[in-house]
Amino acid sequence: MTGRTEGFSLVEMLAALSILAVAGVALTNAMTSSVRAASQARDISLAGVAADNVMALNLASDQGQDLRARSGTYELAGTEYDWTLALEETPDPQLTRVTVTIERDEREQARRVTFVRARS
């Protein structure tokens, strides 16, 4: 018998390590994408909560009697959002469309729309 017959050859080991390295890179990329998506989902969810809160605060102030277009900042969970409240007329003169837009870093994050009936 010539040579050793037990174990793996160097070529087999290099092939196995190459396959393992490629799989490791693919798993790392998948984890990175997953973490990024989770972070974006959290940001969008928080912006939605901020939009709901700003809408509720503005509608509740003076029972909606002093409802007018305005803007400001709102802080939630350590993040500061810029918000804008806009009013639009509708075909029904008794209804007003109220839109709250939430922005962070000059990008729209969330928008909430509701309608309010004019007080008689």
Please write the tens of the pLDDT for every residue from 82-110.
999 999 989 998 888 999 999 988 887 88
CATH number at residue 79: 3.30.1300.30
Other CB atoms within a 10 A radius of the CB of residue 68 amount to 7
Encode pLDDT of 55-78 as tens digits. Answer: 999 888 766 567 889 999 999 989
Q: Which helix H or strand E contains 118, and what residues bound it?
A: none
Whether 2 is in a domain gets the answer no
Whether 84 is in a domain gets the answer yes
Whether 78 is in a domain gets the answer yes
At 91 the pLDDT is 92
Average pLDDT over residues 2-27: 89
Whether 89 is in a domain gets the answer yes
Give the separation between CA 52 and CA 33, rounded to whole angstroms: 29
Question: How would DSSP label each residue in 67-106?
Answer: ---EEEEEEETTEEEEEEEEEEE-SSTTEEEEEEEEEETT
Q: CA nearest 83: which of 116, 61, 118, 56?
A: 56
**Whether the predicted model's global pTM rises above the 0.75 cut:** no
Q: At residue 5, does pLDDT exceed 80?
A: no
Whether 1 is in a domain gets the answer no
Whether 54 is in a domain gets the answer yes
Whether 5 is in a domain gets the answer no
Q: Which domain holds residue 109?
A: 10-117
* Count of domains forming the chain: 1
Average pLDDT of the chain is 88
Exposed/middle/buried for 117, CB within 10 Å: 0-12, 13-18, 19+?
exposed
Whether 4 is in a domain gets the answer no
Check: CB of residue 68 under 8 Å from CB of residue 92.
no
At 59 the pLDDT is 86
